[in-house]
Structure 1
Amino acid sequence: MRAVFLDADTLGNWQGKSNQPLADLTPLANCFEQFDAYSLTTPEEVIERSKDADVIITNKVVLNADTLKQLPNLKAIQLAATGMNNIDLDAAKRLGIQCFNVADYSTFAVAQLTLQFMLNFATRACEHYQLTAQGAWQKSRMFTLTDFPIMELEGKTLALIGYGNIGKKVEQLATAFGMNVVVANIPGRPMRDNQITMDEALPQADFVSLHCPLTEETKDLLNKDFFHKMKSTAYVINTARGPVINEQNLATALKEKVIAGAGLDVLSVEPPSPNNPLLAADVPNLAITPHIAWASHEAKQRLIQGMADNMKGFVADN
């Protein structure tokens, strides 16, 4: 059985051209008689590289109905991710192509970055690093230099939007810091016993953290009205999906000091356009990381092992 991994470099530069630990694809490769891994694959290259494959492994390559129809040998698609929005699942089902993903491999890594954003806003550590690098501390008239306000997370309220494995892990970590945690109901969804309404959650939240999937209900959930319901001292953290936030509305809210700041690991289009309103130089108190929350070495290896476990079962059944 032949498998092709169309975008192996999305797991980090596994070919060893960077300083990060290498992702070991061996458990996955060992599932197949032939395993071909490509760094990245353009839309024009998908058919040629996949035409003889029984299995496609991919993270971000789009596999739409037209593409799948041109791959008569294809029996399975393994996502190197949890989300499956890059695949036309209805077309795959009609064509008898099985689709697999891996859940819960990056829970701690994503929760860790969520807390990192909150800690950075609490201590303003990044800004104080920069002051030292710029020589400001060396010129201080006393032993300390606190040019940015510092607060404690203890006693602050965190509102979670989304309460799956990642949301629950964030709650656990936040509770360890002495934070109060509330779970906000997403409008349009049934209210659960552990939830309060969004209108109740936002006015009391010091931090709002997103851990929900991108759906019709959550697209542009964070908009002008949402931000105006928050405290002016509150922060938004997004390690979920970029389009959950209306980016123009967030840029305006930050510039007009409607909210205090935002920490984002995701944007609506990735890599982002230079014209993204959140990348403008005049947007204050905004920290953006390049979709790294999932990408700890440990999470990558759990992902690879999860894919291997799926594929062992699939090969055994075929």
Structure 2
Amino acid sequence: MTMAHPDHHIVFLDRATLAPEIVLRRPAFAHGWTEHAQTAAHEAVERARDATILILNKVSLTADAIAHLPNLKLVAVAATGTDCVDKGACEDAGIAVCNVRGYAGATVPEHTFALILALSRSLIPYRADVLAGEWQKAGQFCFFTHPIGDLAGRRLGIFGSGDLGRQVAALGRAFGMDVVFSDRKGAVQARAGTMPFAQVIETADVLTLHCPLTEDTRGLIAAPEFARMHRKPLLINTARGGLVDEEDLERALASGQVSGAGFDVTLPEPPPLDSPLMRIATRPNVIVTPHTAWASREAQQALADQLIGTIEAFAAGQRAQLLVQGRR
């Protein structure tokens, strides 16, 4: 949509991060609209130069880039995580920042448990065995080439007690699991409703990550933590790449410190073919999915609707949904 003398020019840098069938309606105010399927970081400034509102999902927007965008008034992140944007630089420049929240309350927890169930019951390797003719070779009604475990009675340790962590907890309780939330790593005393970080690491049968990537959480799970995993747990990450040291994970799997891993996120994305996570991806006790935990049709449409609604609110002078307020 392009109108004469628009109030805003909107540029979407990576529209292909939403599925083609998702309806992204145009905002109900005068505006110009430009979208690109994908944008490399070095292309961002040139493509965003005339934008007053910039939409992005995973394109990196650095302080240097922000300094070259004097017309920019709002950065709208089409996701919950905003680590791709230098929010401090935006604040210094008077640029508002918003994200999308609450749209993934069903899709991410369901994907988390899809990984937990598939690994607990060895679904992937059993399927491979069936396709390879192992059932016929067994000569009986079933065969036992991979371990199978129930979730009922096992401890589920959750890192992150936001909306997604709480929804995962609800699913865990429905399966009869003993659900515990971890306190922050290094906390002197556990907060009410949480268990000390080290105790969760040592006693959980399944560990699942639902926290943001910050300087405090980068490398949250690494060699010292793997060494303390006495229960040889499953490790699930549907949050952010970088929370787990992938090289240490590779060693932990090789030594049996963990019994399996289900990862939907890596750092960077996509991962290089020779990265630790890609090296372990062929193991029968590892499942790697391409950052699709969030991507049910329902969740993507809710994201798109909220994204445009927040942009409309900003254009109307409403600031309640902003992470960085920007200039008024």
| TM-score relative to the length of structure 1 | 0.91
1:293 equivalent in structure 2: 293
Q: Cα–Cα, structure 1 residues 232 and 171, in superposed 2: closer, same or farther, change >3 Å?
A: closer
Shift of 1:29: 4.8
2:217 equivalent in structure 1: 218
Query: Is residue 2:256 matched to residue 1:257?
Result: yes
Give the count of matched residue pairs.
Answer: 309
Higher relative contact order (CA 8 A, sep 6+): 2
Q: Distance in 2 between matches of 1:115 and 1:204?
A: 19
Query: Is residue 2:312 matched to residue 1:312?
Result: yes
2:148 equivalent in structure 1: 150
- How big is each residue's C-alpha offset from its partner over 1:68-121, in whole Å with a ceiling of 9 and x where there is no partner? 222222111100111222222222222221111111211221111111111012
Q: Distance in 2 between matches of 1:285 and 1:203?
A: 20
- Give, as a single letter, the amino acid of the residue that structure 2 aligns with 1:61: V
1:303 equivalent in structure 2: 303
Query: Is residue 2:51 matched to residue 1:44?
Result: no
1:122 equivalent in structure 2: 120
Q: Distance in 1 between matches of 2:151 and 2:249?
A: 23
Query: Is residue 2:197 matched to residue 1:198?
Result: yes
**Which runs of 5 or more structure 2 residues have no equivalent in the other structure?**
1-7, 318-327
Shift of 1:30: 4.7
1:23 equivalent in structure 2: 22
Q: Distance in 2 between matches of 1:232 and 1:205?
A: 6
Q: Contact (CA 8 Å) 2:235, 2:262: kept in 1 or not?
A: yes
- Give, as a single letter, the amino acid of the residue that structure 1 aligns with 2:10: A
Q: Describe how 1:80-159 pairs up with structure 2 within 5 A.
A: 80-159=78-157
Secondary structure of the equivalent of 1:243?
Answer: coil
Secondary structure of the equivalent of 1:195?
Answer: coil
1:61 equivalent in structure 2: 59
Q: Distance in 2 between matches of 1:135 and 1:29?
A: 55
1:8 equivalent in structure 2: 15
- Give, as a single letter, the amino acid of the residue that structure 1 aligns with 2:312: K
Query: Is residue 2:75 matched to residue 1:77?
Result: yes
- Give, as a single letter, the amino acid of the residue that structure 2 aligns with 1:311: I
Q: Contact (CA 8 Å) 1:254, 1:284: kept in 2 or not?
A: no
Q: Contact (CA 8 Å) 1:206, 1:231: kept in 2 or not?
A: no
1:166 equivalent in structure 2: 164
Q: Cα–Cα, structure 1 residues 32 and 270, in superposed 2: closer, same or farther, change >3 Å?
A: farther
Q: Distance in 2 between matches of 1:183 and 1:226?
A: 16
Q: Contact (CA 8 Å) 2:13, 2:38: kept in 1 or not?
A: yes
| TM-score relative to the length of structure 2 | 0.88
- Runs of 4+ aligned structure 1 residues displaced above 3 Å come to 28-32, 281-284
Q: Distance in 2 between matches of 1:214 and 1:316?
A: 32
Q: Cα–Cα, structure 1 residues 284 and 90, in superposed 2: closer, same or farther, change >3 Å?
A: same
Moved more, 155-164 or 229-238: 229-238
- Give, as a single letter, the amino acid of the residue that structure 1 aligns with 2:64: D
